Amino acid sequence: MQSHSMANTHRNSTTETELAATLPSVLEAALQGTGWRVASLRRNQRLNHGLIADAVVRLRSGSAQALLVVEVSANPRLGPAREKALLLQYVLAESPGRGVPAVAFVVPRVTPPLANLLRDLDVGYVDLAGACRLQWPGLVVERAGSVSPAAKSPRASALDAAQVLGPRAPRRHRVLRALLSWPGRRWHQTELAEEAGASVFTVHGVVQCLLAEHLADEAGRGPEKVMFVRDPGELLDAWVPFWRGTWRAHQRAARLFYSLLGGQQAVRDGLNAAASRARARVGLTLSAGANCYGPYLRDDTTHAYVLGDMDALVQAADLEPVASGANVVLFPTTEEGLLYLTDHLRQRAGTVGQAVAAPVCPAQLYLDMKAAGGRLAEQADRLREGFLGDGP
């Protein structure tokens, strides 16, 4: 489609015009060894509803044929990429008489968050480093690329997205939660380190990664330089696929209990009183956490992270261990960052004082609810709209 935004294209040395010129060679390289080849390539092709594709490619393998609609983007961002992919799929599904073509994005470098997003949307991609994923009936091609040309960029960091968003980065996650709890705020890195309870070194690594992945930006120079998240939703979209593995690990470690107290509010009050006596902290999640911020989803089961002496908490709260039929599910943790909650969010949640049983922050709730799936995942989108904003 030709309605590309040219803002911030200085981030990549490759322009969209230059990238489009490489299409034949890039696609041929991606198809090498598959038996398929590029039979024809037509640029700027009109689709339904007045949309114009950057290219429509006809592929052949013997007598078999396939169509590929290509979207070229020199500076892809997750939100716009999602919108373009869904719009293309909708328009192409209405094309009569020729089946539904595959869709692929051609970009200078496919970042892990973009790759995860496009896989979820069942959309292909090809980049200049040789990374590709193309799929249509009868063929799936997927290759990892060589070292990306962008890796030598002054903004590139030793940390990639998986190292910042992945399961083995709890201290880096603290930085992300702080950023997402103050959407739109501009930070000096020392301020961010203090807020997140992380070292300046850790914050610097996270910031450099977010800048390299185009998830954050900077303003000012020297001592006045600040950073900010460009779009909190994009950062969350990038984090969700990585968090699913962490959530499964929490589920495997979960302990099941039954409480005679009826309803989430009563259980929450009981956990709060018990945690004070047991010197433990409780972070309410899923519906129990979301309902602290407003009416989201009725559920008789309370889920919570527990930091501290779990056995003392269970005894003080008079919880009975069960193998099934639990109405309290506790996740033991040693990571204090999971329970991060700012004063302004604590106030919005109606949590009195420094209660030791409080909801986790909205960003953490969103991750957990999306990973849990079902109706919780649907409610997570409502939570995101109400608390995480649209960025600066």
d(CA 91, CA 100): 10
Q: Are 107 and 114 in contact (CB under 8 A)?
A: yes
Task: Tell the CATH topology of 246-387.
Answer: Beta Polymerase; domain 2 (3.30.460)
Q: Are 284 and 251 in contact (CB under 8 A)?
A: no
Handedness of CA 283, 186, 4, 57 (dihedral sign): negative
Q: What is the per-residue pLDDT for 146?
A: 59
Q: What is the per-residue pLDDT for 138?
A: 60
Radius of gyration of the chain (CA): 24
What confidence tens digit (pLDDT) does each residue in 274-293 have?
998 998 999 999 999 999 99
Overall CATH class of domain 9-149 = alpha beta
Overall CATH class of domain 154-230 = mainly alpha
The mean pLDDT of 3-20, rounded to a whole number, is: 53
Band the pLDDT of 317: cuts 50, 70, 90: very high
Total length of the chain: 392
Residue 161 predicted with pLDDT over 90: no
Strands 64-72 and 102-107: parallel
Cβ neighbors of 303 (< 8 A, separation 6 or more) are: 284, 285, 286, 287, 288, 289, 329, 330, 331, 368
Strands 328-333 and 255-258: antiparallel
d(CA 392, CA 187): 12
Q: What is the per-residue pLDDT for 115?
A: 87
d(CA 110, CA 216): 17
- Kindly report, as residue ranges, where domains of CATH 3.30.460 are found in the chain: 246-387
Cβ neighbors of 9 (< 8 A, separation 6 or more) are: 15, 16, 74, 75
The mean pLDDT of 356-375, rounded to a whole number, is: 93
Query: What tokens were used for 3?
Result: 């309605």
Indicate the range of 20-24, 316-320, 359-363 predicted with least confidence. Answer: 20-24
| Residue type at 352 in one-letter notation | V
Residue 3 predicted with pLDDT over 60: no
- Kindly report, as residue ranges, where domains of CATH 1.10.10.10 are found in the chain: 154-230
Q: What is the per-residue pLDDT for 195?
A: 95
d(CA 314, CA 15): 60
- Kindly report, as residue ranges, where domains of CATH 3.40.1350.10 are found in the chain: 9-149
SS (H, E, C) the chain: CCCCCCCCHHHCCCCHHHHHHCHHHHHHHHHCCCCCEEEEEEEEEECHHHCEEEEEEEEEECCEEEEEEEEECCCCCHHHHHHHHHHHHHHHHCCCCCCCCEEEEEECCCCHHHHHHHHHCCCEEEECCCCEEEEECCEEEEECCCCCHHHHCCCCCCCCHHHHHCCCCHHHHHHHHHHHHCCCCCECHHHHHHHHCCCHHHHHHHHHHHHHCCCEEEECCHHHCEEEECCHHHHHHHHHHHHHHHHHHHHHHCEEEECCCCCHHHHHHHHHHHHHHHCCEEEEEHHHHHHHHCCCCCCCCEEEEEECCHHHHHHHCCCEECCCCCCEEEEEECCHHHHCCCHHHHHHCCCCCCCCEEECCHHHHHHHHHHHCHHHHHHHHHHHHHHCCCCC
d(CA 4, CA 14): 15
What confidence tens digit (pLDDT) does each residue in 45-81 have?
888 777 888 989 988 887 788 888 999 988 888 888 8
What confidence tens digit (pLDDT) does each residue in 122-149 have?
899 988 888 888 887 666 788 876 544 3
What confidence tens digit (pLDDT) does each residue in 353-365 have?
556 789 999 999 9
Band the pLDDT of 246: cuts 50, 70, 90: very high
Q: If you average pLDDT over every residue of the chain, what do you get?
A: 84
Quick one: CA torsion of 253, 166, 390, 190, rounded to 10 degrees? 110
